[in-house]
Amino acid sequence: MSTTSKTIAVFGGNGFLGRKICEIGIKRGYEVTSYSRSGKPPQAILPNQDQNSNQNQPDWVSKVNWSKVDIFQPQEIKSQLGQFNTIVHSIGMLFEDISYKKAANSASSLSNFGDITRFINSIMGSNPMQKDKKNMSYEAVQRDSALSIAEEYIQARKDTIPRSNAEDEPIGNYVYISADKAPPIIPERYIKTKREAEFELSKKLYLRSILMRPGAMYDETHNLGTTKRDVILKSLKIGVDLKNSLLGQNFLSNLVRPVVSTTQVAEALYDKLEDPGFSGVVPVEFIEKEPK
C-alpha cells in the first residue's frame, strides 16, 4: 500500500481534538475532509461574537472540506471513503451525559463559586442521560461506530484500489483516538470500550491501525478562544510539571499521568502516520515529547 497519498478523513473533525488534527493536516499539506453530525466547521467561541460569523475563523478552516454524516450510518458515504488514504476516528465522550461538553467548552470565565460549582456538577454528570437514549452509550460511540466505519472503509478501499498479490496487505490507514487511562471519576466502561475497539481494529488485516493514547488534553494555541477546559487542564499540567521537577517523573507515575496539548497529539499522529513501518499503540509518553 502506498503511504504517500495525503488524503485524510477525520470523523469528529469539528470537535476539541478533531479540529486540531484538521489544522495540522492542512499545515502538513494534506487534503482534509471532516465528517461530523452538523457538517460545519467549529464555531468561533470568542466572547461577544456572533456565532454565525466566520470573520474570526483561522485560514485553515476554509481549506477543510466540512461534510455531514451520521456516524452510525457510514454506509451512506461508502462511495466517498475509498478516496482516502487515511481515516481518523476522533469521536468520544467522557460521560454518557454529553451536557458536560457544553460546560467544558464554554468560553466564559470561572469568575464565581456558582459558576465553578455548575461546571463541576456537569463534569460529575449530575444530570445523567437516560441509559436507553439511542446511540449515546460508550459502546455505541467509542467502540461500535469505530468498527462500523472501519468495515465500510475496508470495503470501499477494496472497490477503489487494485489488489496486490499479498491479499492481507493493508490497503488503508486507520487512526483511532483512544486514551491513556480513565480519569478517576470516569466510569470504567469509558476505557473498557476504547480498549475493545483497539483490540478489534488491530486484528483487521486490511488496515494499518495507529492507536493514539493521549492523556488529559488542553489546547495551547486555542485560536477559537480560551475555554474552561483549557484553564483547568493547563493548571493541571503546571502541577504535573512541578511534581516531575521536584520528585522526578517516576514518582507516582502510574497515578500522575502526563497532560498534553492537542497540538502534541496531532503532531504525534502525523509523525507516526508518515512512518510507513509503524503500526500499533502510540503512548502518551511519546506524545508528550512533541513540541507544543
What is the percent of the chain where pLDDT is above 90?
50
Written as one letter, the residue type at 38 is S
- For residue 112, tell me if it sits in a domain: no
Angle, to 10 degrees, between the axis of helix 188-202 and the axis of helix 145-160? 20
DSSP 73-85: -GGGGHHHHTT-S
More confident residue, 7 or 226: 7
Ranking 78-82, 182-186, 244-248, 281-285 by mean pLDDT, the lowest is: 244-248
- For residue 194, tell me if it sits in a domain: yes
- For residue 1, tell me if it sits in a domain: no
Specify the pLDDT at position 259.
85
Among candidates 283, 222, 292, which has minimal Cα distance to 260? 292
| Euclidean distance between CA atoms 41 and 161, whole angstroms | 30
Angle, to 10 degrees, between the axis of helix 262-273 and the axis of helix 18-27? 50
Please answer whether residues 259 and 240 qualify as being in contact, where contact means their C-beta atoms are separated by less than 8 angstroms: yes
Specify the pLDDT at position 219.
82
pLDDT digits (tens, 9 = 90+) for 196-211: 999 999 999 899 999 9
CATH of the domain at 48: 3.40.50.720
| Euclidean distance between CA atoms 136 and 9, whole angstroms | 23
Specify the pLDDT at position 73.
92
- For residue 228, tell me if it sits in a domain: yes
- For residue 127, tell me if it sits in a domain: no
Lay out the sheet containing 65-68: strands in order across: 65-68, 31-36, 7-11, 86-89, 172-177, 207-212, 280-282
Q: Where are the beta strands (DSSP E) in the chain?
A: 7-11, 31-36, 65-68, 86-89, 172-177, 207-212, 217-218, 260-261, 280-282
- For residue 36, tell me if it sits in a domain: yes
- For residue 231, tell me if it sits in a domain: yes
- For residue 111, tell me if it sits in a domain: no
| Euclidean distance between CA atoms 8 and 81, whole angstroms | 10
**Helix or strand or coil: residue 125?**
coil
More confident residue, 8 or 232: 8
Max alpha carbon distance in the chain (Å)? Answer: 65
The pLDDT-based confidence of 185 (bands split at 50, 70, 90) is confident
**Helix or strand or coil: residue 177?**
strand
**Helix or strand or coil: residue 233?**
helix
* 44-52 CB contacts, 8 Å cutoff, 24+ apart: 44/224, 44/225, 45/105, 45/106, 45/107, 45/224, 45/225, 45/227, 46/107, 46/224, 46/225, 47/107, 47/108, 47/225
pLDDT digits (tens, 9 = 90+) for 18-73: 999 999 999 999 999 999 999 999 875 444 445 455 566 789 999 999 999 999 99
Specify the pLDDT at position 204.
92
Angle at 35 between CA 217 and CA 277, to 5 degrees: 65
User: How many folded domains does the chain comprise?
Assistant: 1
CA 137 to chain centre: 17
Enclosing domain of residue 188: 7-97+133-287
